[in-house]
Structure 1
Amino acid sequence: MSAPSAFFAAPHSGFDSLRGFLWWVPRAAVLGTLAFVIFGPLANLLIWTVAERWYFPHALPIDYGFSYWGRVFAPRGNAVQSLIASISIALFTVAGSLALAIPAGYALARLKLPLRGLVLLAFLLPQAFPNLPVYVNIARLFYEIGLNGTVLGVVLVHVTHGLVYAVWIASAAFSAVDRDLELAARNLGASGLKGFADVTLPLAAPGLMASAIFVFLESLDEFTGSYFVGAPDVTTLPLLLYSAGAGGNYQIASITALLLLVPSIAFMLVVEKFLRADVLAKVGQ
């Protein structure tokens, strides 16, 4: 390279470097802020789980330890029983929701219903109103028929919320299955029920699995309905978390929240594996 060329090339290269640096500064600031918003509360949660003493103005705990873990998992801590109750209720909720969502989702995907959009919209109604007055009235009704304070009553409340995910995703999963495959099974002599069981249902299984996981997570984290319908006879992990937080037991509340967080993260990873793009494209159609 000649001397004049090198003279003009060097400033230009320096300007590109400066422009690249100035381009990355706002992006790094945005990403750093986003990471702090997401992982900051999680880091604070993890610190509280091992904090023995922590109060203002100290930025970090004064003493660390695991004594609160022993209190949470002690027989009188009620955490294990609450976790078992939460998982059991969530599994019953998944079973009830899928039992209703599979035929409903198949009908919405295959039948030419005149008010299909309104039917899908109707499943959103439980989310359209404030939960508090709805659950107060449900609790009063369940008390009159003997369902208040029972696992069945809590499951029924959870199912009303779970159907939103179950029906919409089930309908999308069945819509993503090629109808010609069902017709081919019928031409080969299979009955309608056998064609559904052997062809349609296995192909829609990933979407149904994803809907089941969403329903499970919704039930596992549900607080308001469980409180008004189940408490104090049915104690779930969110109720235990609320009681600990309201009483100022932040260590116990943080440990309980961590117990809820672990299955949520695990199941969301499973959702990412099962929920395909073609199923997502059919949601609401």
Structure 2
Amino acid sequence: MDKVLPLPRLSPHVADKLWWLPRGILLGLLAFAIFGPLTNLLLWTVAEKWYFPHTLPLEYGFGSWQRVFSPRGNAVDSLTNSVVIAALTVCVALALAIPAGYALARLRLPLRGLILLAFLIPQAFPNLPVYVNVARAFYELGLNGTVPGVVLVHVTHGLVYAVWIATAAFSAVDAELEQAARSMGAGPFRAFFDITLPLAMPGLMASAIFVFLESLDEFTASYFVGAPDVNLLPLLLYTAGAGGNYQVASITALLLLIPSIGFMLVVERFLKADVLARVGH
């Protein structure tokens, strides 16, 4: 009988090198999926002439930036409205979330889990049919096409982040610290404002950032409730993209992307492991 020759074995050194090959391919595909669209976005912001089949723009320049930020470009007005509405949304959402989050964290409320799930209702249903009916109701109330109407609908959409993270932030604060302040003669409000609120402030700041970004990027509610009287950046992005003006659309998308990346880096510093562990509990 013929002898079966054993298969050659790779040396440990060669095997270690080949082990990094699938990792390198996977990381390369992941980097392409993330940075490929971003690179294309940046190229469109400075492309003056770019058409198929050319891989790169034929001409570069900042003419599109001048058109976007010209008085007729509506970018400055849309950016101002977006920031103001997002800031107002944060103020209203935190004004509701701080007492709600403290009550959910400290009090033994019946059906506490159902109360937390109730804040997910705006996220659970498709946005389009919901906001069509909201726009109809707001039109009858005189809120359609107004800043208060847009702020109100943004608050209902972002309140889940505010309440859930606020509840987790207050739950992460040791209740014995507040009780110690009460035993030293401090009243309930002073113990809350001097002890509990400062310790929960990092989580509350993180919830404020989430609500701000949610309001800044919200399109469906802004379109049905605010358009055409309230100009916002997502509406400008949609109009430019639907009209085939990819330069203006890319510049507008970049204006929305920069604060999102910056605030996400801040959130990473604010949200600690003890707070994240209590989200939803």
TM-score class normalised by the smaller sequence: over 0.9
Structure 1 partner of 2:80: 84
1:263 aligns with 2:255: no
**Alignment correspondent of 1:236:** 232
Deviations 1:84-143 (A, max 9, x none): 000000000000000000000000000001200000000000000000000000000000
- Root-mean-square deviation (CA, aligned residues, Å) is 1.0
* Consecutive unaligned residues in structure 1, runs of 5 or more: 1-10
Rounded to whole Å, the distance in 2 between the matches of 1:113 and 1:23 is 54
Q: Which residue of 1 aligns with 2:12?
A: 16
**4+ runs of 1 displaced by more than 6 Å?**
none
44, 47, 51: which one pairs with 2:47?
51
Query: 1-side partners of 2:124 and 2:147: how far apart?
Result: 25
Q: Which residue pairs with 1:211 in the alignment?
A: 207
What's the TM-score, normalizing by structure 1?
0.95
Which residue type is aligned with residue 71 of structure 1?
A: R
1:105 aligned to which of 89, 101, 105: 101
Aligned equivalents of 2:153, 2:51: Cα separation in 1: 39
- Helix, strand or coil for the counterpart of 2:48? strand
* Counterparts of 2:26 and 2:157, CA distance in 1: 35
Residue deviations 1:35-89, cap 9 Å, x none? 0000000000000001111111111111111100100010000101100000000
Give the distance between the partners of 1:162 and 1:127, measured in 2 at CA. Answer: 9
Q: How does 1:112-131 map to 2 (within 5 A)?
A: 112-131=108-127
Q: Give the TM-score normalised by the residue count of structure 2.
A: 0.96
Matching of residue 72 in structure 1 with residue 72 in structure 2:
no
Matching of residue 202 in structure 1 with residue 201 in structure 2: no
* SS in structure 1 at match of 2:11: helix
1:133 counterpart residue number: 129
Gaps of 5+ in 2: 1-7
Give the Cα–Cα distance (whole angstroms) in 2 for the partners of residues 100 and 230 of structure 1: 23
Q: Number of matched residues?
A: 274
Q: Which residue is equivalent to 1:283?
A: 279
Which letter maps to 2:206?
A
Paired residues for 1:184-203 under 5 Å: 184-203=180-199
Deviation at 1:16, TM superposition (A): 1.4
Amino acid at match of 1:21: K
Partner residue, 2:35: 39
Q: Judging by fraction of residues, say which structure has more helix.
A: 1
Q: Does 1:225 align with 2:225?
A: no
| Identity among equivalent pairs (%) | 76
